[in-house]
Amino acid sequence: MTIDLKTVKHISKLARISTDEKKANKLANDLNSIFKFIEALNELDTEKVEPLTSVADTKLRLREDKFEANNIRDKILKNSPDENKDYFVVPKVVE
């Protein structure tokens, strides 16, 4: 199968990455060569194989619902890209 320009634009949209025409063309080429390589998997019959989701044979642990973090609210806010005091700032969402 081949990945065309339309598909590249569609998945770019899904991934929230803006892509111009020139880059989309290059990406389509790259993705096609990668998927050609990936298609070797079709040689294998996996009809009856269980998918492996994790190699770590563990069950998720439950823990007490208690507060552990130190008071790092200000440090967290300091990393936000827009100037603020008590909250994260984003472009206007609701008109």
Partner 1 sequence: MSDITKLSLNELIQNIRNKKLSSTEITNSFIERSEKSKKLNTYVTDNFSSALEAAKIFDEKPNMDLKLPGIPIAVKDLFCTNGVRTTAGSNILNNFIPPYESTVTQSMWDEGAILLGKLNCDEFAMGSSNETSFFGNVQNPIGENLVPGGSSGGSSAALAANLTPVTIGTDTGGSIRQPASFTGTVGLKPTYGSCSRYGIVAFASSLDQAGPMSQNVKDAALLLEVISKFDNKDSTSIVFKRNKYSSELTNNIKGLKIGIPNEYRVEGMPKEIEDLWKKGIEIIKDCGAEIVDISLPTTKYALPTYYIVAPAEASSNLARYDGVKYGFRSEGENLIDMYEKTRSEGFGEEVKRRILIGTYVLSSGYYDAYYLKAQKVRQLIKKDFDNVYNNVDAILTPSTPSSAFKIGEKTDDPVSMYLNDIFTVPVNLAGLPGISIPAGIDNKGFPLGLQIIGKPFDEQTILNIAYSMEEKINFKNNITDWWM
Per CB under 8 A, residues contacting partner 1 are 3, 7-8, 11-12, 14-19, 27, 30-31, 33-34, 37-44, 46, 49-58, 60-61, 63, 69, 72, 75-76, 78-82, 88, 90-93
How big is the chain by its Cα radius of gyration, in Å?
Answer: 23
Query: What are the backbone dihedrals phi and psi of residue 27, each rounded to the nearest 5 degrees, phi first?
Result: -60, -40
Please state the closest distance from residue 82 (CB atom) to partner 1, in A: 7
Minimum distance between the CB of residue 68 and partner 1, rounded to whole angstroms?
A: 9
**Min. distance of Cβ 48 from partner 1 in angstroms?**
9
The dihedral built from the CA positions of residue 13, 30, 40 and 52, taken in this order, carries a sign that is negative
Choose between 43 and 65: whose C-beta lies nearer to partner 1.
43
Q: What angle do CA 37, 14, 90 make, to 5 degrees?
A: 140
